């Protein structure tokens, strides 16, 4: 699940130059998004990512609480 613990895996993360070049890319040929083989795989990746982030939030809350106590 470590591959999916970042919520940004479905989004393109272009560099500055790719962003600048996209102004002239009228056909949107330079943008490439992360893809999944099936709808089910995309759902699984999304759910796994959501739970991984939720787990990190719970862990941070527990650590914050124990530091205060």
* Domain total in the chain: 1
Distances (CA, A) of 26 to 10, 31, 52: 22, 11, 37
Confidence (pTM): 0.55
Q: How far apart are CA 46 and CA 58, in angstroms?
A: 18
- Please list the pLDDT of the chain residue by residue as tens digits (69 residues): 444 445 566 666 778 888 888 888 878 777 777 778 898 998 898 898 889 999 999 999 999 999 887
Q: How far apart are CA 24 and CA 18, in angstroms?
A: 10
DSSP, res 58: H
Determine the structural domain holding residue 8 and report its residue range: 2-68
Q: Which residues contact 25 (CB under 8 A, 6 or more apart)?
A: 31
Q: Which residues contact 62 (CB under 8 A, 6 or more apart)?
A: none
């Amino acid at each position: 699940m470590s591959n999916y613990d970042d919520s940004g895996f479905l989004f393109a993360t272009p560099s500055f130059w790719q962003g600048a070049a996209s102004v002239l890319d009228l056909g949107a040929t330079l943008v490439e998004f992360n893809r999944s083989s099936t709808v089910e795989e995309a759902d699984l990746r999304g759910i796994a990512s959501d739970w991984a982030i939720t787990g990190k939030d719970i862990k941070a809350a527990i650590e914050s609480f124990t530091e205060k106590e």
